[in-house]
Amino acid sequence: MPTVTEQRADLPRPGRKRSEESRLAILTAAFQLLAEVGYAALTIEGIATRSGTGKQTIYRWWPAKADVLMDALATKADLYVPVPDTGSHPADLREFLRASMVLGRRPEVAAGLRALMAEAQIDPAFGERFRASFLRPRRDALGALLDRARLRGELPPGLSVGTAVDLVFGVVWYRLLATGQELDDLLVEELVGVLTYGGN
């Protein structure tokens, strides 16, 4: 998965190359510090100190601390969720949901996601980047899965694919952000039930 900060590699510019070592040290430090001190106490200064780099190096490559975190989350906790296509809608959906929830159950990942969503509210510019490079791909994946189900008539009538996607991500984010309830298998089954025609 390409990171936000990747560079055009084709045109060889003069000057020293970007240090991959520093990049990784920064992402690791950000990820660790989030877990240790929380997002409120996560500072660029702290990341620089912990990673043994200069602040300028961070500012050079990431527009805000939330972007560092987004990058770290993508690099450290591989956020890839496969989009199954077995032909059976309930099975595909179940698989997708299960994989998503496994991710969301990891505490550091949950903390990261919550911080990103919070920052997206506070910094509109980051919000845009967050939506475009983080939320949208995952929305689209589930949307494609449900589109196939709709074609086979396995989605409840009166429920648009868009709203169905919103329902799924809605509950998941709501539990992450508001209630803190476990993202368990029971939830998976309930969602599969609600989103399958004749499934209840």
Partner DNA sequence: GCGTAATCGAGACGGTACGTCGGGTCTTTCT
Partner DNA sequence: AGAAAGACCCGACGTACCGTCTCGATTACGC
Residues that bind a copy of itself (CB under 8 A): 38-40, 114-115, 117-124, 131, 135, 156-160, 163, 166-167, 169-175, 177-179, 181, 187, 189-190, 193-194, 197, 199-200
Shortest Cβ 174–a copy of itself spacing (Å): 4
Report residue 175 as tokens. Answer: 């539990």
**15 or 87, CB closer to DNA?**
15
**76 or 112, CB closer to a copy of itself?**
112
Decide if residue 17 touches DNA (CB under 7 A): yes
Decide if residue 57 touches DNA (CB under 7 A): yes
Decide if residue 52 touches DNA (CB under 7 A): yes
Decide if residue 24 touches DNA (CB under 7 A): no
**Binder among 2, 12, 82, 107 for DNA (CB under 7 A):** 12
Q: Which of 82, 91, 83 is closest to 152 using CA atoms? A: 91
**92 or 119, CB closer to DNA?**
119
Mind giving me the DSSP string for 132-185? IIIIHHHHHHHHHHHHHHHHTT-SPTT--HHHHHHHHHHHHHHIIIII-----H
Report phi then psi at 196, rounded to 5.
Answer: -120, 130
**44 or 187, CB closer to a copy of itself?**
187
Question: What is the b/e burial string over 73-109, where b = at least 16 CB atoms within 10 angstroms of the residue's CB?
Answer: bbbbeebebebeeeeebbebbbbbbeebbebbeeeeb
Report residue 194 as tokens. Answer: 């609600």
**Binder among 13, 124, 179, 186 for DNA (CB under 7 A):** 13
Per DSSP, the three-state class of 200 is coil
Given DNA, a copy of itself, none, residue 117, with its beta carbon under 5 to 8 Å by kind, binds a copy of itself
Task: Say how many C-beta atoms besides its own lie within 10 A of residue 171's C-beta.
Answer: 18
In whole angstroms, give the CA distance from residue 71 to residue 116: 11
Decide if residue 82 touches DNA (CB under 7 A): no
- Site residue total, DNA (CB under 7 A): 28
| Dihedral-angle region of residue 194 (phi above 0 means left; psi in -120 to 50 means alpha; beta otherwise) | alpha
Binding-site ranges for DNA (CB under 7 A): 12-19, 22-23, 25, 41, 43-46, 51-57, 59-61, 64-65
